[in-house]
Amino acid sequence: MTATEMQPGAPSATTGELLRLEAVTKKYGPNTVLDDVSLTVGKGEVVGLLGDNGAGKSTLVKIMSGVVPMTSGRYFWAGEQVAKVTRPETERLGVETIFQDSALVPSMTITRNIFMGREITNAAGFMKLKQMDAITTEVLDTVVSIEGLKSAKQLVGSLSGGQAQAVSIARAVYFKRSLLILDEPTSALAVRATEALLNYLLQLKREGVSSLLVTHNLHHAYKVCDRHIVMNRGRKILDVRREDTSVGELTAAVVEGMEGVLRYREGQPLA
């Protein structure tokens, strides 16, 4: 009996699917990093992607954001297959990936980071910096409200980890991205910044934005995610809605894989 048969992973949101991967396999030479992984992210759904180091989370994220091609498998967006999954294509679809620290340029201002690659310009290509600064100020005030920020003209390099994450999120929100992939966003954050970040995700959800939270911190994921996907050695072993699982079961799955889940269920059968 495979995991997927045990817990069919249907999107918990009722509004339908946004991203669907079917039978995705990724090989690096002789190594199979991802083995026949299928998953769905619903519209406005917050999905947690859990797993120990080496489980294949990062590779999966890179495939979803179009940075790395898959060896085989299919990629569907809103029910339609995407023929060629490249970064420009996923960007056009509205996928935004926030990596731990590589999404921003430290030597540029907050405004220039938010509008990087999508500058507001006149016909000749010259930037309208005043307008961009004003929008940034507005977005930082209303969407994410970062504490301790002085000006949109601050260099991103002068911000703390949490503030920089918030800038990434502000950027994703302002450009109305439809799927936000956060790769280990909380690992460098202080407690309060983490709380704020998780709050942003819920806020995004209210605005209909889906997010995929990649983390090994179960407690962060459990708080905000509607559904949890657990990876183990390149395979998906668990895909459950929050109401059908517990931190204990997820921990067992992450730490001990499928066997852990089975033993957990024998020991403490779910109601």
Give the residues lining the site for another protein (CB under 8 A).
65, 67, 87-88, 91, 97, 99, 102-109, 112, 116-119, 121, 124-127, 129, 137-138, 140-142, 145, 149-155, 157-158, 198-199, 202-203, 206, 218-219, 222-224, 242, 246-248, 251-252, 255-256, 260, 263-264, 267
Give the residue with the Cβ less far from another protein, 81 or 145.
145
CB of 22 to another protein, least distance (A): 25
Give the residue with the Cβ less far from another protein, 22 or 52.
52
Helix or strand or coil: residue 115? coil
Sheet with 46-51, edge to edge strand ranges: 95-98, 179-183, 210-215, 46-51, 227-232, 235-241
> Which amino acid, 78?
A
CA distance 15 to 59: 28
Q: What backbone phi and psi angles, to 5 degrees, belong to 240?
A: -130, 150
CB of 121 to another protein, least distance (A): 5
CA distance 88 to 152: 27
Give the residue with the Cβ less far from another protein, 83 or 123.
123
CB of 11 to another protein, least distance (A): 18
CB of 19 to another protein, least distance (A): 18
Give the residue with the Cβ less far from another protein, 6 or 155.
155
CA end-to-end span of the chain: 21
Q: Which residue in the block uniquely carries the two structure tokens 């067992």? A: 252
Give the residue with the Cβ less far from another protein, 140 or 237.
140
Contacts of 174 (CB under 8 A, 6+ apart): 114, 135, 139, 143
